[in-house]
Structure 1
Amino acid sequence: MKFFLGINRYELYSRNSTIVGSLLRELSTGKFVRVVQKLGGTQLKLTITLQDYGKVLFKPMKQTRDEETSVDLFYFSDFERHNAEIAAFHLDR
């Protein structure tokens, strides 16, 4: 909740924020009550319900951000789409 409340129109979190470390520790040690695969789309996405009933959307990154996808790969199989989704999130805000 602290992470969520810290989001503003300019950033998800500040560079000197200690919230991210706390959030990652909580996610790595907290208990998952339920995990459901979201339907649709072309990539794996999991909705995770935590013990405190918080919800997390997990989508694994298949490539590092500086890797480029082969030009021979079909567009909708593009591994770099997570970069586009992050950019779309910021543009939408």
Structure 2
Amino acid sequence: MNRAQADAIARAFLQPDQQREANRARQAREAWDERERRKVAAMTLVGFAIGAPIAHYLGVSFTQGGLWGGITGAAVGWLWLAWRRHRYHAGAGRQ
């Protein structure tokens, strides 16, 4: 192999092609979605942690308060995620 062939092979590996770019974009989108879903799960747990003591003070079952708090936290989290997803994808389209 001569120097010109080695340079051509190196350029082929270093220059991203459309398939690699598509894979990178897909992986970035999946990573972003995974991070956001984890945030929704955290909001669900926070909602449970807030709903349980409120239920105790209101004289309702601890688990019922935790359940409704978790549902409320999840609903707020999914709404927040939908808003962020809209902003994220709208911003990506403008670039």
TM-score category by the smaller chain? Answer: under 0.3
For normalisation by structure 2, the TM-score amounts to 0.19
Higher strand content, 1 or 2: 1
Higher relative contact order (CA 8 A, sep 6+): 2
For normalisation by structure 1, the TM-score amounts to 0.20
